[in-house]
Structure 1
Amino acid sequence: MFTPRLELFPERIAENARAIIHLCHDHGIQVACVGKVVCAHPVIMRALEESGADLLADSRLENLRSLRQNGTTLPLMLLRIPTPSQVEEVIHAADISLVSDLETIKKISAAAMAAHSTHKVILMVDLGDLREGIWPSRLDEVLRAIIRLPGIEVNGLGCNLACYGGVIPTTEKMQQLIDLRDQSETSLGIRLPVLCAGNSANLPLLLADKMPLQINMLRIGETILLGRNVLDRSPFPGTRQDTARLVAEIIELERKPSVPIGERGQDAFGGTPEFVDRGVRLRAICNIGRQDVVIDNLTPEDPGIIVLGGSSDHLLLDVQDAQQPLAVGDEVAFYPGYGALLAASTSPYVRKTMINGISS
Structure 2
Amino acid sequence: MAELIIHSERIKSNIKELSNFFKNNNIEWSLVTKVFSGDKTFLKHILTKDVIENISSVGDSRLTSLKNLRQVNPDIKTIYIKPPAEMYADDIVKFADISLNSSLSTIKALNKAAKEQNKLHQIIIMIELGELREGVKRDNILHFYKQVFELSNIEVIGIGSNLGCMYGVEPTYDKLLQLSLYKELISLKFEKDLKYISGGSSITLPLIDIKETPKELNHCRIGETAFFGISPLNNKPFKNLFTNTFEFYANIIELEEKKIVPDGNISNASIGHTSEVDNTNTSKTSYKAILDFGMLDIDKSDLETDDTNITFVGVTSDMLVIDIGNNKTKEGEPKYKVGDKIKFKPNYMGVARLLNSKFIDKIYANQL
Match of 2:253 in 1: 251
Asked if the contact 2:272/2:314 (under 8 Å) is kept, the reply is: no
* 1:197 aligned counterpart, secondary structure: strand
Asked if the contact 1:100/1:133 (under 8 Å) is kept, the reply is: yes
User: Structure 2 matches for 1:1-360, cutoff 5 A?
Assistant: 3-46=1-44, 47-48=46-47, 50-51=50-51, 52-262=54-264, 264=266, 268=270, 274-275=276-277, 279-320=284-325, 325-358=335-368
Moved more, 36-45 or 326-335: 36-45
Structure 2 segments unaligned to the other structure (5+ residues): none
CA spacing shift, 1:261–1:150, aligned 2, 3 Å? farther
* 1:342 aligned counterpart, secondary structure: helix
Give the number of aligned pairs.
356
**What is the percent sequence identity of the aligned residues?**
30
Moved more, 92-101 or 314-323: 314-323
Moved more, 311-320 or 210-219: 311-320
CA spacing shift, 1:260–1:23, aligned 2, 3 Å? farther
TM-score (norm 1): 0.92
CA spacing shift, 1:320–1:60, aligned 2, 3 Å? same
TM-score (norm 2): 0.90
How much does 1:142 deviate? Answer: 1.0
Asked if the contact 1:305/1:321 (under 8 Å) is kept, the reply is: no
How much does 1:4 deviate? Answer: 1.7
CA spacing shift, 1:18–1:304, aligned 2, 3 Å? farther
Asked if the contact 1:140/1:188 (under 8 Å) is kept, the reply is: no
CA spacing shift, 1:194–1:345, aligned 2, 3 Å? same
Q: Deviations over 1:51-84 (max 9, x none)?
A: 2322111111111111111125331010121111
Asked if the contact 2:200/2:217 (under 8 Å) is kept, the reply is: no
Structure (1 or 2) with the larger CA radius of gyration: 2
How much does 1:275 deviate? Answer: 4.1
How much does 1:185 deviate? Answer: 1.5
For 1:282, give the aligned amino acid. Answer: Y
Computed over aligned residues only, the root mean square deviation of the Cα atoms, in angstroms, reads: 2.2
Asked if the contact 2:311/2:323 (under 8 Å) is kept, the reply is: yes
* 2:17 aligned counterpart, secondary structure: helix
* 2:159 aligned counterpart, secondary structure: strand
* 2:200 aligned counterpart, secondary structure: coil
Partners of 1:213 and 1:29 in 2: how far apart? 9
How much does 1:25 deviate? Answer: 1.6
How much does 1:250 deviate? Answer: 1.2
